[in-house]
Structure 1
């Protein structure tokens, strides 16, 4: 297991992207650091539903080659992230924490994840969630309960609790969740990080204003 560099894992996604672009850190090194940290945190918190380590390593090697060969780089080139299991990553489990969907795999990748990957970001793990994203606590019969990284006797919140824990404990610099009534904001608050639910229609309003 790689020795974890806390100084590296405390940086933001934007900072990491600049370091990669400037050849100050390697995407391969960064992925290995995040994996090592996640391997420390997972037995304590059960934040991860599905690991994507091998595909992430392959993507990091390709990302490093792009940097070394001077190819065009996306804004988040080589930066790892996690995403809620129920969002959907093509070919990966999409149980949404329900035994009724225990054999379900995503047929496509969520649009927001596709856009991040197009910008060079690398999915590292699928985060645990509340069953069907219906509860303010991350617990289900498929993956079990996610615990708060500051105090395992306390809840991590939900429904996007697994990803909140991975961000809070330095496994990934950012993560994707879903939020209808607090599913990002609640676990973010419980784990001491910032969670954003974009306003509905904000993008359309901006486009209309620009066009006008």
Structure 2
């Protein structure tokens, strides 16, 4: 990992010049985590977490302790920006999905950076608004009674985002099941059913949507 790779790969820092990136890098603390380690929770210090290499999931726990997946973080993604604006983390967890290199910046130090570079604060607000919109969309998904409806809606939305009817699922079945509020076995069974009905084909994690019209009908059922 180079000296300031974390600053270079995060979109909120993309307009900073070399000297400014080095200044950001001086605030960064580098960590290495194994799969399954929690790197952000209500019990950890307030900080911005950046995935330099690897992957992590963000989730909340229900009153019964059930995990509800919110998103999957890849290289360059970050979490914890709400902390920078004084919001106390009471429910968000970030856990590595594989061996990962992670960078953190303490909230107090990052707030000083925001005072010097207001454009970063605007980008953080935009990022936070996008995450809120994504959560609202997920809540709409979970309002569907049928898992088939949720899965069809998710796949169609993903095709629009990728601008292609063929794409690679961005998460494993376990994470996808948590995201859609069901079990991995149910997701696997529904994907086989969609395949049998010739709505799609699946090869490992690659999905090819075939009958868009029928999937749209299923989504609206």
After TM superposition, the score normalised by the length of structure 1 is 0.28
Q: Which has the higher helix share?
A: 2
Q: Which has the higher strand share?
A: 2
Structure with larger Rg: 2
